[in-house]
Structure 1
């Protein structure tokens, strides 16, 4: 980053965050504190009202704003594609705002940049998904949860798990404190404090039904930050299997959430998985037919034999 770009970026950073120390700016822009001092002096000489206080940091005088900033074609494309994603994946309210944002961005672009942006954008496309059944309901669920999170309101819903849990509860009503929404593995997930479990849990929106936003409010657990949250990994069952070379490319493309590694071995490709229960891999393994061979655990091998016998009786 050259000096001019860095000075502009410094002003934008101060405008966004208010007060920053020279050390913070030096770390942000990967330069020395002495260089930041020189940049501040240059900004002051250029008429930018920068105020500095010893032991506190630098800030912009109240009321100062940067004039409108122009975008490069790549920057504009990034923003427009981001708006496309919001329109496809979030609720109707945010979808309308995304379209409005796109129009405003396109309106302020110089003609040459607008033409270049249109050319680049035409080479990248997000396909519109079918708005039927579950997807439409999931968007409505997203909207309700988003509002509950902003208002800090508890929610109640019926939840269905994909497999029977160890406690036998596959379906049940939950009351939870919604902390945030996370898009992971192609699906929206609610991070919330579950009253039933007394701990933070994750709920896929596609499995939530009859959602109600309650009048009762909640407080986030002290020290919790969604940006820092990492779910605990309780996948303790290790599964290993040989994968035939004829399908290894397809297996890699599928990119199973449970797969830990896929390595070449003496008899072919060795795939290692970690799951909570063997049932989580049963259908996936059966789907590849004889092209995979389960090595361990023996419990999964037994389940595979049982399923194959059932299939033989049907066919």
Structure 2
């Protein structure tokens, strides 16, 4: 980044935030703090009202605003594809706003940039960005949950989940304090504090039913930050399987959450997974049929044999 581009980017960064330290600007633009000091001096000499407070950082004088800047083709394409994703993957309210934002952005572009960005976008197409069940009920739940998160209102829903040692799925009623929504591997997940478990839990929207907003309000914990939150990893059960090389690519493309490593060997591809319980991958392993062999643990080998015998009885 040359000096002119960096000076413009610094002004935009100051405009976006109230106060910014020289050290943070140096990290952002990958330069030295001394260079940032010189940049601030250059901006002041150019008439930009930069205010420096020792020990705090730099800010712009109140009321100063840099007019909109032009977008490059790459920047315009990035933003327009972003609106396409929001329109497709979010609830109807934000979908409509994404469409409106797209029209406004296109109106700001010069004719050459607009034509070139349209040409570049024609080479991209978003398909199946979310699971099929995102349509309909799940989209409605997204909007309800988003409003509950912003208003700090608890919600109640019925939740279906597989339990080890039980046939089929079990349903429970959950009252939760919703903290945020996460799009993980094509599925929308609610991160919330569960009254039943007295801890933070993840809930797939596709497994919910009967969602209602409660009158009870909650106060989010001060230390909680959705962007930096990492759930405790309790996947302590190691599983190793051997995959026939003819389907190794398909196994990799399945993007299974529990896969840790895949290693090519003369006898096939060795796949290592870590799970909380065998039920989490039992159906996935069975789905590959004879193309997959479980190496360990023995308990999973036994389960596969039991399921295979049950299947044989049907034929």
TM over 0.5: yes
Structure 1 residue aligned with 2:145: 145
Q: Deviations over 1:249-295 (max 9, x none)?
A: 11111121111111123532211111122122222112211111111
Aligned mates of 2:240, 2:196 — CA distance in 1 = 34
Cα drift, residue 132 of structure 1: 7.9
Structure 2 residue aligned with 1:115: 115
Residue ranges of structure 1 left out of the alignment (5+ in a row): none
Aligned mates of 1:71, 1:196 — CA distance in 2 = 50
Structure 2 residue aligned with 1:31: 31
Aligned mates of 2:138, 2:60 — CA distance in 1 = 44
Structure 1 pair 281–188 and aligned structure 2 pair: CA distance change class (3 A): same
Aligned residues: 314
Q: Deviations over 1:86-141 (max 9, x none)?
A: 11111111011000000000001000000100000000011378998662100000
Aligned mates of 1:232, 1:132 — CA distance in 2 = 29
Q: After superposition, where does 1:202-221 map in structure 2 within 5 Å?
A: 202-221=202-221
Q: Deviations over 1:58-84 (max 9, x none)?
A: 211111101111111111111111111
Structure 2 residue aligned with 1:291: 291
- SS of 2:219's equivalent? coil
2:133 and 2:206 in contact (8 A); partners too: no
2:131 and 2:187 in contact (8 A); partners too: no
Structure 1 pair 262–52 and aligned structure 2 pair: CA distance change class (3 A): same
Q: After superposition, where does 1:1-315 map in structure 2 within 5 Å?
A: 1-127=1-127, 135-161=135-161, 163-165=162-164, 170-265=170-265, 267-315=267-315
Structure 1 pair 167–225 and aligned structure 2 pair: CA distance change class (3 A): farther
Q: CA RMSD in A?
A: 2.0
